[in-house]
A and B are shown apart, each in its own frame.
Chain A
Amino acid sequence: METWVRFSAQSQAKERVFRAAQYACALAGDALRRNGAGSGVLDRLRQLEAHLSLGRKLLRLGSSAEALEAAKRAIHLSDMVLRFCITLGHLNRAMYFACDNVLWAGKAGLVPSVDQEKWSHRSFRYYLFALVVNLSRDAYEIRILMEREVGGKRAKGVENGRLLQADNGLQQLGLRLQVQLRLLAHVLRNNPPLLLDVVKNTCDLFIPLDKLGLYKTSPGFVGLCGLTSSILSILTILHPWLKLKP
């Protein structure tokens, strides 16, 4: 019980729980629709999802300031690529939250003339940029770690003799790919925070891709992706060592 109190004292933590519930509703709604459930149940799920979404928008009202603060902190990072990626990611997030606040104002009836469709598209575009930048940062980290691993192996004098034995060009390529994939799996297995971040960003990627019409999947798949990324996010809050630093 003490864990819950400490957990929900952070407003981000509660927001993640509501996000997980919202995407679980989307997933459940799609699954029930496929199995021919009545419209009453589907309506209730849709209403609950809408309430959760609006509530989360309200909770995110101050988040632009948080993202700008994080961007300000990220400017002082030593590594240039990380500095660029993380700062840009936070700035895009700040813009996403700003558009989200406008959407809330429209939905709450404060500014009824807000074009929901236009601002929704805008907000998802910023979200997509932020995710792409985050994934680039992840790719950069993976590349550095892989290079470090290869360097370490060379220093130990371990050579892959099989590469020299392959005579066919395609076979050589296949072997090289196999080596790289094994190295990638090794790097990710040794770095749970990085693995978690990659999976989370990849899952999140499907949401704006679907909403912007770039890569349409099903509402159930979007719900599953959202639910997975929310659960991973909750894990990083419960166990702060799992959060990718910086």
Chain B
Amino acid sequence: MESFVDFTNRSQGRDQLFRATQYTCMLLSYLLEHKADKEKLVMKLKQLESSMSSGRKMFRLGNTVHALVAARRTTQLPDVVPRFCLTTSNLTRALYFVCDAVLWLRSVGLQPDINKQKWRNWATKCYYFSLLMNLGRDWYEISWRLEQAVRKKNTKENSSWDKEDQELNCLKCDSLPSFLPLLFQILKRHPPLLLDTVKNLCDLSSPLDALGIYKTNAGVIGFCGLISSLVGILTLASPHLKLKQ
């Protein structure tokens, strides 16, 4: 119980638990929607989902400052690509939180004449852009590790094989079949990178659907959201699994 208390004492921990619950409800209500005698349960799941969602919107008030502080921190990174990607990602996240706060004001009734659709559209675009920047950074991390691994493999084979076989093997190195196993090897050796990539890819499903770029259904969004929340909980519970910035 002590570890549960320690975990939920952090604001992020509680938020990830609520997020996981919200997406589980979304997934379950999609799966049970057309079943015969489950209408009451589906309605309760939808109500739980909406109360989690509106509660989380309230807790997110003030996260703009978090994102700006994180952006300031990432401007100090040594490599150019992560510095650019993460700073842009944090700045667009700050914008997303601003739009989110405006939407909260409207949902609470303080400013009823706000154009909900427009602000929601802006919020989704900002979130989508920040996810793309995060994925860009993930891809940079993967690609330089891939390059390093290929170079290591080449030097190992150069030292042990004859010259004729060398060219053959160099061709083999660049073909696709050996690229995928190498990729899996790299991801297996760096769990934080794997978890971060999986989380960002899963988070992508919701804005892709909302912006109409790649329409899926509530079940897919719910499932992806649940996976990303579980990854978030995992990285909070074991901080060594979090990708260092």
Chain B residues contacting A52 (CB-CB under 8 Å) are 58
Contact A55 B68 (CB under 8 A): no
Closest A residue to B111 using CB positions: A44
**Which of A64-72, A80-88, A126-134, A163-171 lies at the interface with chain B?**
A64-72
Contact B10 A11 (CB under 8 A): yes
Q: A1-B68, A69-B2 are in contact. Are A18 and B58 (CB under 8 A)?
A: yes
Compute how far the CA of A44 lies from the CA of B105 in the bound complex, rounded to whole angstroms. 11
Compute how far the CA of A9 lies from the CA of B52 in the bound complex, rounded to whole angstroms. 19
Contacting residue for B109 out of A9, A11, A48, CB 8 A: A48
Taken residue by residue from 86 to 117, chain B's Cβ proximity to chain A (1 for < 8 Å, 0 otherwise) reads as 00000000000000000000001110000000
Is B47 an interface position by the 8 A CB rule?
yes
Cβ of B11 to closest chain A Cβ, rounded Å = 4
Closest A residue to B108 using CB positions: A51
Is A2 an interface position by the 8 A CB rule?
yes
Taken residue by residue from 63 to 104, chain A's Cβ proximity to chain B (1 for < 8 Å, 0 otherwise) reads as 001101100000000000000000000000000000000000
Contacting residue for B8 out of A14, A48, A62, CB 8 A: A62
Taken residue by residue from 1 to 26, chain B's Cβ proximity to chain A (1 for < 8 Å, 0 otherwise) reads as 11011001111111000100000000
Q: Is the interface of A mostly helix, strand, loop or mixed?
A: helix
Kindly identify, within residues 16 to 54 of chain A, every residue whose CB is under 8 Å from any CB belonging to chain B.
18, 43-44, 47-48, 51-52, 54
Contact B66 A55 (CB under 8 A): no
Compute how far the CA of A108 lies from the CA of B43 in the bound complex, rounded to whole angstroms. 11
Is B239 an interface position by the 8 A CB rule?
no
Chain A residues contacting B184 (CB-CB under 8 Å) are none
Chain B residues contacting A62 (CB-CB under 8 Å) are 4-5, 8, 14
Chain A residues contacting B58 (CB-CB under 8 Å) are 18, 51-52, 55
Cβ of B190 to closest chain A Cβ, rounded Å = 27
Contact B9 A5 (CB under 8 A): no
Closest B residue to A66 using CB positions: B5
Is B44 an interface position by the 8 A CB rule?
yes
Q: A44-B110, A55-B54, A65-B4 are in contact. Are A4 and B59 (CB under 8 A)?
A: no
Closest B residue to A4 using CB positions: B65
Contact B65 A110 (CB under 8 A): no
Contact B110 A1 (CB under 8 A): no
Compute how far the CA of A225 lies from the CA of B78 in the bound complex, rounded to whole angstroms. 51
Is B51 an interface position by the 8 A CB rule?
yes
Contacting residue for A11 out of B2, B8, B47, B66, CB 8 A: B8
Q: A1-B65, A11-B11 are in contact. Are A110 and B55 (CB under 8 A)?
A: no
Contact A5 B44 (CB under 8 A): no
Contact B62 A4 (CB under 8 A): yes
Is B77 an interface position by the 8 A CB rule?
no
Contact B65 A5 (CB under 8 A): yes
B contacts, CB < 8 Å to A: 1-2, 4-5, 8-14, 18, 44, 47-48, 51-52, 54-55, 58-59, 62, 65-66, 68-69, 108-110
26 chain-A/chain-B pairs, Cβ below 8 angstroms: A1-B69, A4-B65, A5-B66, A8-B11, A8-B66, A9-B12, A10-B10, A11-B13, A11-B14, A12-B9, A14-B11, A14-B59, A14-B62, A47-B108, A47-B109, A51-B58, A54-B51, A54-B55, A55-B58, A58-B18, A58-B52, A58-B55, A62-B5, A65-B4, A108-B47, A109-B48
Additional pairs, 19, CB under 8 Å, beyond known A8-B11, A48-B108: A2-B69, A11-B10, A13-B11, A18-B58, A44-B110, A51-B54, A54-B55, A55-B58, A55-B59, A58-B18, A58-B55, A59-B59, A62-B4, A62-B5, A62-B8, A65-B5, A66-B9, A69-B2, A110-B48
Closest 7 CB pairs of A and B: A58-B55, A109-B47, A55-B58, A11-B11, A108-B51, A62-B8, A47-B109
